[in-house]
């Protein structure tokens, strides 16, 4: 068991991915119309940046809470963690793609937002698999009682299901589907899914650490 | 309470953001005039790089001092930290935009420097909110006495207010407003706002750590 | 002996390199045909991204297991670690090159996949040298018994040899050689080469840490 | 005193800067001549990548050794560390500039290599200042005896002086000056300047850590 480097590596990937999001903000520069106009016309990039930033930030907070509660780290978890990070790393790609096409006409915006939703759904599924792995007895310091498994899953699956809905909704209305991803981010900021139920007492939303 | 990963993630974001600043230094390359001329004409990029580097570096030092003094990390603080990082990550964007337009004519430089000031003001506001949060009793190892709250706030708010002034001043004179951001960086390098007043005795400007 | 910063620096490099892989996914953007078509025509980029992501992820897991078992860190090891990281950092370059040319005609795809194989062979050789270094008595907490050295080497050398084979095979068939790299990744995900033989009992595939 | 986050932040910056070096390797892609020719004509990029990678890697090793020996971290050191990192972050810029112009004719290659030398000289000066700061009594676990100060300085200053010589030599011969930077890297890999003299007994070239 060695949570330290799992956290260090994951934190590094989260940090780089969240920082690369801002590469999508750059304007074309001098010679492409007034700067004010360039900035104004790139409003989808700014909106998408904020939504993606908080979406990745929330996953990081949940990842943090989940991993800090683990007592066992095995190969399966390392693999599931890599799967989740595979999608975290794709978030800047999804964000730039959505932002570039969101304000355009035709079918492209729908594809772009569906891609964005698919990346977030993958990230959510990867995290859900890590959570599912952690439910087995003896893997966490503070176990989730068996009768709360379905309640806990419902909360997680609902997040993942919304992103699946985003993919479908995108083909009906790209802006509506994109707005839904923003709503999820706002919702989770104010009502974070507890990574591990039964951990309500600690002020930080985390389990009391017996090692601390 | 778990300051460790808050620090690790924040350090990662600070490190990536500060390193991405240098992407704005690259020249167009062979075929765009003599290299000496290209470098000389990009002097605003070098100046903006240095100013932004030390501005982010100072915020990192202050963040470091603030977080190392915490005894509680809750969801609100994690959220405020994310808000601050949202603007830290935008600093390379603001820096490149300011550098690209600073030596140009017309209205664009004013918009560019205003954008730069807005990013720094946001970063400053995010940090100020974290500081404000830390004032509540029991949240820091070394509490700030209540009668020093306003003195402490004044010092922080003055930093944030200067960046607000940069935004306004930019529309009068872009170079003057930009120079003001450089002055703030120089000022803070030599007279760092103590993150937590009353911590003057330690050689590192930090509180004696009871855990150490 | 100080494993901490060796791990921190290496983790940082692994994290940045694995995140930069996604830069190769970006599409040309509006005005270059339908987005669906652009995405579809870039399938090699997505395949190469997934293969490289897991290849780097597996090396990270192995690096983790190897370093956590060390009791000595000397200049030679730091140098070998740098050599390995030299190639880890080149993986995004090799991946983008392979992806850009994989679906093209002529001789270029063969060169591209050979370059990709060479980068992976270098990474594998660097890791193999670190492993070889760790075999000497007294350098690891749990030593590899001398009679298992060749078995351990065979497992490592086979990985490196396959990447050498990829280089050769690339000149016969670029797609076949590229598929071979993917097969190696899948193989190692399911059957990770134990970094240190004799460590089968621990649930995480790592040695019990006497310091823990 | 808190070395931890100084190391974490610095390691992050080193890791990102060393990884961004590889961005300079990318070829123009399909439609710009055969890939083999493109790669061959970019040999300066590969040479510059390797030289810069090991140069930054060596500074990281020395930084590691220096900081791990500190017992005091004050504002002055944090500032000197930022100055050093300011130049570390510029290394990818200097490397790409040198590589882009090295094989060209005219005066540009001389300017490019002079820029590269100036970045390395700045990095070296920043590190030298940190070393100088650490000489004062009580700042390191294992102090450097006063009669060894000049010997230690000579070794450090010689590194910095060579980079100053590179700047001058560049205007006589860009390739010779660039080759000199490579020679310095090779020299330091095999004969690392001990960050703190008197620490020869430990196998890792570091002081025995009384805390360990």
Q: Each residue of D81-123: pLDDT tens digit?
A: 999 999 999 999 999 999 999 988 889 999 999 999 999 999 9
Q: C30, A108: Cβ pair inside 8 Å?
A: yes
Compute chain A's Rg from CA coordinates: 19
- Decide: D50 and B54 in contact? Cβ < 8 Å: no
- C-alpha pair distances (Å), B24 with each of A16, A94, B60, B149, D73: 18, 24, 21, 39, 31
Identify the residue among A7, A12, A23 best suited for mutation to test binding to D, counting D beta carbons within 10 A and taking the highest. A12
Number of H helices, E strands in chain B: 7, 0
- Residue A31, pLDDT > 90, answer no
For C44, residues 6+ apart whose C-beta sits below 8 A from its C-beta are C98, C99, C100, C102, C103
Partners of A11 on chain B (C-beta within 8 Å) are: 5, 8-9, 12
Check residue B198 and give its pLDDT.
39
Neighbours of chain B (3+ CB pairs under 8 A): A, C, D
With beta carbons less than 8 A apart as the criterion, state whether A163 and A181 touch: yes
pLDDT in the model for residue C209: 38
Chain B residue numbers with beta carbons less than 8 Å from the beta carbon of A30 are 100-101, 104, 108
H/E stretch holding D212 reads none
- Res. C154: pLDDT tops 80: no
The answer to whether the CB atoms of A1 and C60 lie below 8 A apart is: no
pLDDT value, residue D148: 85
Instruction: Tell me the chain D residues in contact with residue B57 when contact means C-beta distances shorter than 8 Å.
Output: 82, 85
Mutation to test the B interface, candidates C16, C17, C22, C89, most B Cβ within 10 Å = C16
Q: How far is D145 from chain B (nearest CA, A)?
A: 23
With beta carbons under 8 A apart, name residues in chain B contacting C15: 12
Residues of C with CB under 8 A from a CB of B: 12, 15-16
- According to the model, what pLDDT value does residue D203 have? 37
- Examine the pLDDT at C171 and tell me if it is beyond 50: yes
pLDDT of residue B196: 43
Instruction: Give the residue from chain A lying closest to B138, CA to CA.
Output: A203
The secondary structure of residue B116, as a DSSP letter, is: H
Residues of C with CB under 8 A from a CB of D: 1-2, 5, 8-9, 11-13, 15-17, 20, 72-75, 78-79, 82, 85-86, 89-90, 92-93, 96-97, 100-101, 104, 107-108, 111-112, 115
pLDDT tens digit string along C41-90?
999 999 999 999 999 998 998 898 888 889 888 888 989 999 999 999 99
Partners of residue D60 in chain C, C-beta under 8 Å: 9
Query: Using DSSP, how many helices (H) and how many strands (E) does chain C show?
Result: 7, 0
Residues of chain A contacting residue B52, judged by C-beta atoms under 8 Å apart: none
| pLDDT per position as a tens digit, A10-21 | 999 999 999 999
Task: Write the CB contacts of C100 (distance below 8 Å, at least 6 apart in sequence).
Answer: C44, C45, C112, D29, D30
Instruction: Give the CA-trace dihedral at A10, A12, A18, A24, to 10 degrees.
Output: -120
pLDDT given at position C2: 72
Distance CA A63, CA A83 (A): 13
SS3 D136: coil
For residue A62, what pLDDT is reported? 87
pLDDT digits (tens, 9 = 90+) for A125-160: 999 999 999 888 888 888 888 888 888 777 766 778
Cα of A16 to nearest chain D Cα, Å: 9
Do residue B2 and residue A68 have CB atoms under 8 angstroms apart? yes
How far apart CA D116 and CA D96 sit, in angstroms, is 9
Query: What DSSP designation does C59 have?
Result: H
Give yes or no for a contact between C24 and C92, defined as CB atoms under 8 angstroms apart.
Answer: yes
> For residue D42, what are its two tokens?
């970019």
CB D47 within 8 A of CB D186: no
* Other Cβ atoms closer than 10 A to C32: 11
Residue C176's H or E segment, with its range, is helix C174-190
pLDDT of residue C191: 65
- What the block records as the tokens of D93 is 């810029």
Measure in Å the smallest separation between the Cα of C142 and chain D Cα atoms: 19
Give the one of B16, B39, B53 whose C-beta lies nearest to D86's C-beta. Answer: B53
Q: Which residues of C touch B18 (CB under 8 A)?
A: none
Q: How far apart are CA A4 and CA A9, in angstroms?
A: 9
Q: Do C25 and A90 touch (CB under 8 A)?
A: yes
How far apart (Å, rounded) are the C-alpha atoms in residues D166 and D181?
7
Asked whether C129 and C83 are in contact (CB, 8 A), the reply is yes
In degrees, rounded to 5, the angle at the alpha carbon of residue A128 between the alpha carbons of residues A123 and A130 is 100
Q: How confident is the model at residue C200 (pLDDT cuts 50, 70, 90)?
A: very low
Dihedral (CA of C89, C90, C94, C96) sign: positive
Chains that touch A (3 or more CB pairs under 8 A): B, C, D
Closest CB from A15, A30, A192 relative to B75: A192
Contact A203, B136 (CB under 8 A): no
Specify the DSSP element, H or E, that contains A155: helix A149-170
pLDDT over threshold 50, residue C111:
yes
Residues 6+ apart with CB under 8 A from A194: A65, A155, A200, A205
Distance from CA of A54 to the nearest CA of C (A): 18
Q: What's the Cα-to-Cα distance from C52 to each of A207, C17, C58, C163, D123, rounded to whole Å?
A: 36, 10, 10, 13, 33
Q: Which of D155, D142, D145 is nearest to D199 (CA)?
A: D142
Intervals of chain B under pLDDT 50: 1, 193-212
Give me the residue spans of the domains in chain B: 3-24+35-190
Q: Please say whether the beta carbons of B28 and B4 come within 8 A.
A: no
- The minimal CB distance from B19 to the residues D13, D82, D101 is found for D13
- Whole-number Å distance between alpha carbons of B44 and D76: 27
pLDDT category of residue A1 using cuts at 50, 70 and 90: very low
Range of weakest confidence among A26-40, B159-173, D192-206 = D192-206
**Residue A199 or C28, more confident:** C28
Nearest to A132 by CA among A108, A151, A111, A149: A149
Query: Quick check: C72 and D19 CB within 8 A?
Result: no
Average pLDDT of chain D to the nearest whole number: 85
pLDDT (tens digit per residue) in B51-98: 999 999 989 988 988 888 898 888 889 899 999 999 999 999 999 999
Q: What is the pLDDT of residue A158?
A: 75
Q: Which residues in B lie closer than 8 A to residue D111 (C-beta atoms)?
A: 34-36, 39
Mean pLDDT of C89-107: 93
B81 torsion bin: left (phi>0), alpha (psi -120 to 50), beta (else)? alpha
- Using pLDDT thresholds of 50, 70 and 90, give the confidence band for residue A191: low
Contact at CB, D97 and B26, closer than 8 angstroms: yes
C-alpha dist (Å) from residue C87 to B160, C68, C99, D19, D98: 44, 21, 18, 10, 21
Q: Identify residues of D whose CB sits under 8 angstroms from chain A CBs.
A: 12, 15-16
Interface test with B, best of A6, A11, A88, A200 (most B CBs within 10 A): A11
In chain D, alpha helices (H): 3-20, 35-41, 43-68, 75-101, 108-135, 149-170, 174-190
Is D4 a residue whose pLDDT tops 60? yes
Average pLDDT of the residues of chain C? 85
């Amino acid at each position: 068991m060695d949570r330290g480097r799992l956290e260090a590596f994951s934190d590094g990937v989260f940090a780089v991915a969240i920082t690369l999001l801002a590469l999508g903000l750059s304007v074309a520069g001098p010679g492409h119309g007034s700067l004010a106009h360039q900035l104004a016309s790139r409003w989808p990039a700014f909106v998408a940046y904020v939504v993606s930033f908080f979406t990745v930030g929330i996953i990081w907070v949940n990842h943090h809470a989940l991993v800090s509660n683990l007592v066992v780290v095995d190969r399966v978890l390392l693999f599931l963690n890599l799967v989740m990070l595979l999608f975290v790393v794709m978030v800047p790609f999804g964000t730039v793609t959505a932002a570039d096409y969101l304000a355009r006409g035709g079918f492209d915006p729908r594809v772009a937002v569906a891609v964005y939703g698919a990346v977030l759904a993958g990230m959510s599924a990867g995290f859900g698999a890590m959570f599912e792995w952690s439910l087995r007895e003896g893997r966490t310091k503070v176990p989730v009682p068996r009768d709360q498994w379905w309640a806990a899953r419902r909360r997680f699956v609902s997040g993942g299901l919304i992103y699946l809905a985003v993919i479908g909704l995108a083909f009906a209305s790209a802006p509506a589907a994109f707005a839904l991803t923003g709503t999820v981010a706002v919702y989770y900021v104010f009502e974070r899914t507890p990574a591990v139920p039964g951990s309500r007492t600690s002020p930080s939303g985390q389990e009391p650490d017996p090692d601390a």
